Structure 1
Amino acid sequence: MAFLKRESGQIHYETMGKGEPLLMLRGLGRSSRYWLGFEQRLAKSFKVIQMDMRGLGRTSLPMAWTDSMDDLADDCVALLDHLKIKSAHVFGLSLGGMVALRLGSRHAARCRSLVIANASSADYPGFRLDPLAIKDIVIGRIRGQLHEALLARTIPSAVAKVRGPEILQKWAAIREEEGLPMESVLKQLVAAARFTIRGRLKEGDVPILFVYGSLDGLVPHSNTRRMHKLVPGSSLQEIKGASHEIHVGHEIQLVKVLKEFCREAS
C-alpha cells in the first residue's frame, strides 16, 4: 500500500507486474478494489498502476463540488511524476474513461495510448445513463439491495448466474471496509455532467480505442459510438456479451484487446 501526498490529503495507489506501464482508472463511486483481481491478469503483461480517485477508497484527498475531470487528470499526472514514469498506457472504465480522455487532451505526451470503455460525454443529446437503470438502482438502494440492482445492470445475466453470489460477497466486503461515499459519488456526477471532448483531441495526438460491451445495462453504448465519431483517428470495438463491468466474465478477451492495442500504439 502506497500513498502520494497532495495539497489536501493523500492518494492511494498500488503497482504490480513488469513491462510497459498501464494506468487503470475505475468508474463512478468505485475504488481500485472493485477491479476484483482483473489487475492481476494485466500485471502478467504490464506494469500495472492502480489508484483511488479523490473521495474514494483509501484516498484521503477529498473530492470538491468544484472539481472537474481536469483535476482528476492532474492527479494522474502527479502520480506518474511521483513514480518517475514519463508516459503510460491508460485504461479507463466509465467515469475513469472520462478522466483518461481529459488526461489525453491536457497531457498528451504522458499517454502512450488510451483505451476507453463504456464512457459518455455531454457533447450530444441523449441518455448518458439508462433511465430504467437509474430507477432500478434507486429502488434497490431504498430496499437495501443496491448491489443486487447494480449486479443486474452491470454484469451479464449469464455471468451473474454463475458468479453472482461471489461478486456480491466481494462487493459487500469492500463496502463494509470503505463505506458508501455518496457525497463523493454526487460530486463525481456533477463533474461528469460537465465533461465534454468535442474539439479537444486531434488525430495523431494519442492512439485511442473506444470499447463497449454489447449488453451494457447502465450506459447506453450509443454513447461510445458518438464519442468515437467526435475523436478523429480513434478506433472502435465491441465486446459481445459484455456489460458495463466490461472485464467481468470477459477477462481473457479484454486482456487480448488491451495487449494488442497497446502493442500497436507503442
Structure 2
Amino acid sequence: MQYEVHGRKEAAATVLLSAGLGGLGGFWLPQLAALSEQFRVVLYDHRGTGQNAGPLPDGHDIAAMADDVVQILDSLGAARVHMVGHALGGLIGLELALRAPARLDRLVLVNAWGRAEAHTARCFAMRRQLLLHVGVEAYLQAQPIFLYPAAWLAQRSAQLAEEAVQAQRHFQGSANLLKRIDALLSYDASDRLDQVVAPTLVAASRDDILVPWTASQKLAAGLPQARFWLTAEGGHACTVSDPAPFNRRLVEFLTAG
C-alpha cells in the first residue's frame, strides 16, 4: 500500500484520512492545511484506485479495506492514530474500530452509516445502472449531482467539466468500482456499534441527497462515545464544498482533552 505523509514529524499525533467511493487521498486536500499544523497527516488511495491501482479480488470487502489500513499503520510504525473517514472511508474506520481497537485513538465519521438506508441503496443502484448500461462517461457526469448542492454546482460548470475529464483519465475501472459498491452496500455493523470504544465524532450534512443525515444521527445514537455534528448545507461532500466549518469542528474534536 502506497501512501503520503504530510504535516509534522513523527513525534506528532497521526491522523489518517480515508476517502469515500472514489478512493483517492486527494479528496482531503481541503483539510490538509488545517491538520498539518498540529498533526502528522497520512493520505492514501484505497486498494484498486490511484497509486494503489490494480484488479480487486472477488469478494473484496470492508474488512479487507480495514486490513489495508493496518498495513499502512504497521509500515508507519504508528501504534495508534486518529482516523477520519468519509462515507465508505467511514465504514473502514468503523471496521478498524471493531477489529483493532488498540490501533485507534479517535474516530471521525463523515456522512457514513452503520447499515445502508434503502434510499442510499436506491441511489447506488441508479449509479450502477448508469455505469453498466450507459457507460463510464455518463457515470462520471452524474457523480457531482450526488456529491454537491445544486447552487454550488451551478457556479462551477467549467471546473466540473475539467474534473470530469480528469476523473475519466484516472478512473478506477468498472470492475473495481462495482466490487466497492457491493462492499459498502453489504456492510452492516448496526448490531456491533456498542462495541466501538473510541471517542467518535459523527458529522453529517442536512442536504446530503445520497446519505440521509438521519442515518448519521442513528449511527451516533448507537455508538457509546459519539458526538453528533450537523451542518445545514454542503451536500454529501461538504468537506469539499464548505470545508471551513468542518475543519474547525474536526480540529476541536481531535485536540480536545
Alpha-carbon distance in structure 1 between the residues aligned to 2:241 and 2:178: 29
Kindly report the root-mean-square deviation, in angstroms, between the aligned alpha carbons of the 2 structures. 2.5
| TM-score of the pair, normalised by structure 1 | 0.84
Match runs of 1:25-44 below 5 Å: 25-44=18-37
Structure 1: stretches of 5+ with no match in the other structure: 1-10
What amino acid is the match of 1:33? G
Cα distance change on mapping 1:241 and 1:187 into 2, 3 Å:
same
SS of 1:236 mapped into structure 2: strand
Alpha-carbon distance in structure 2 between the residues aligned to 1:180 and 1:168: 19
What amino acid is the match of 1:69? I
| TM-score of the pair, normalised by structure 2 | 0.86
What amino acid is the match of 2:108? V
Alpha-carbon distance in structure 1 between the residues aligned to 2:125 and 2:61: 23
Alpha-carbon distance in structure 2 between the residues aligned to 1:72 and 1:30: 11
Contact 1:155 1:243 in 2 (8 A): yes
What amino acid is the match of 1:59? N
Match runs of 1:1-266 below 5 Å: 11-18=1-8, 19-60=12-53, 62-122=55-115, 126-129=117-120, 131=122, 134-135=125-126, 138-139=129-130, 142=134, 144-176=137-169, 178-202=170-194, 205-264=197-256
Alpha-carbon distance in structure 1 between the residues aligned to 2:56 and 2:141: 27
Alpha-carbon distance in structure 2 between the residues aligned to 1:197 and 1:235: 18
SS of 1:183 mapped into structure 2: helix
Cα distance change on mapping 1:21 and 1:154 into 2, 3 Å:
same
Alignment coverage as a number of residue pairs: 252
Cα distance change on mapping 1:217 and 1:152 into 2, 3 Å:
same
Alpha-carbon distance in structure 1 between the residues aligned to 2:246 and 2:84: 11
Contact 2:30 2:243 in 1 (8 A): no
Higher share of residues assigned helix: 2
Contact 2:98 2:195 in 1 (8 A): no
SS of 2:51 mapped into structure 1: coil
Identity among equivalent positions (%) equals 23
Cα distance change on mapping 1:86 and 1:127 into 2, 3 Å:
same
SS of 1:252 mapped into structure 2: helix
1:37, distance to aligned residue in structure 2 (A): 4.6
Cα distance change on mapping 1:17 and 1:59 into 2, 3 Å:
same
Kindly provide the CA deviation profile for residues 70-108 of structure 1, in whole angstroms up to 9, marking residues without a partner as x: 111111111111111111111100100000000111111
1:161, distance to aligned residue in structure 2 (A): 2.6
What amino acid is the match of 2:249? V
